[in-house]
Amino acid sequence: MTDLLNLDLSKNTEKIIAEYIWVGGSGMDLRSKARTLSGPVSDPSKLPKWNYDGSSTGQAPGEDSEVILYPQAIFKDPFRRGNNILVMCDCYTPAGEPIPTNKRYAAAKIFSNPIVAREETWFGIEQEYTLLQKDVNWPLGWPIGGFPGPQGPYYCAIGAEKAFGRDIVDAHYKACIYAGINISGINGEVMPGQWEFQVGPSVGISAGDEVWVARYILERITEISGVVLSLDPKPIPGDWNGAGAHTNFSTKTMRAPGGYEEIKKAIEKLSKKHKEHIEAYGEGNDRRLTGHHETADINTFKSGVADRGASIRVGRDTEKDGKGYFEDRRPSSNMDPYVVSSMITATSLL
Partner 1 sequence: MSSIDELMNLDLESITNKSIADYIWIGSEMELRNKSRTILDGPITDPKLLPKWNYDGSSTGQAPGNDSEVILCPQAIFKDPFRKGNNILVMCDTYTPSGEPLPTNKRFNASKIFSHPDVFKEEPMYGLEQEFTLLQKDVNWPLGWPLGGFPGPQGPYYCGTGADKAFGRNIVDAHYKACLYAGIDISGTNGEVMPGQWEFQVGPTIGISASDQLWMARYILERITELEGVILTFDPKPIPGDWNGAGCHTNFSTKSMRSEGGYDVIKNAIEKLGLRHKEHIVEYGTGNERRLTGRHETADINAFSWGVANRGASVRVGRDTEKEGRGYFEDRRPASNMDPYVVTSMIAETSILWKP
**Residues making contact with partner 1 (CB under 8 A):** 2, 5-6, 76, 78-79, 143, 152-153, 155-163, 166-168, 170-175, 177-178, 182-188, 190, 221, 223-225, 294, 304, 306-309, 315-316
C-beta of 154: minimal distance to partner 1 in Å? 9
* CB closer to partner 1, 54 vs 193: 193
* CB closer to partner 1, 221 vs 349: 221
C-beta of 76: minimal distance to partner 1 in Å? 8
HSE, CB side, 13 Å, CA atoms: give it for residue 147. 9
Distance between CA atoms of residues 91 and 104, nearest Å? 9
* CB closer to partner 1, 240 vs 338: 240
* CB closer to partner 1, 17 vs 106: 17
What are residue 90's DSSP bridge partners?
70
Distance between CA atoms of residues 348 and 269, nearest Å? 6
- Looking only at the bridges linking them, the beta strands covering 227-230 and 30-37 are unpaired
Residues 6+ apart with CB under 8 A from 12: none
* CB closer to partner 1, 15 vs 162: 162
Distance between CA atoms of residues 289 and 332, nearest Å? 9
* CB closer to partner 1, 64 vs 317: 317
Among residues 88, 22, 34, 85, the alpha carbon closest in space to that of 59 is found at 22
C-beta of 202: minimal distance to partner 1 in Å? 13
C-beta of 105: minimal distance to partner 1 in Å? 30
Distance between CA atoms of residues 339 and 285, nearest Å? 15
C-beta of 45: minimal distance to partner 1 in Å? 23
C-beta of 163: minimal distance to partner 1 in Å? 6
CB count within 10 Å of CB 95 equals 6
3-state secondary structure of 66: strand
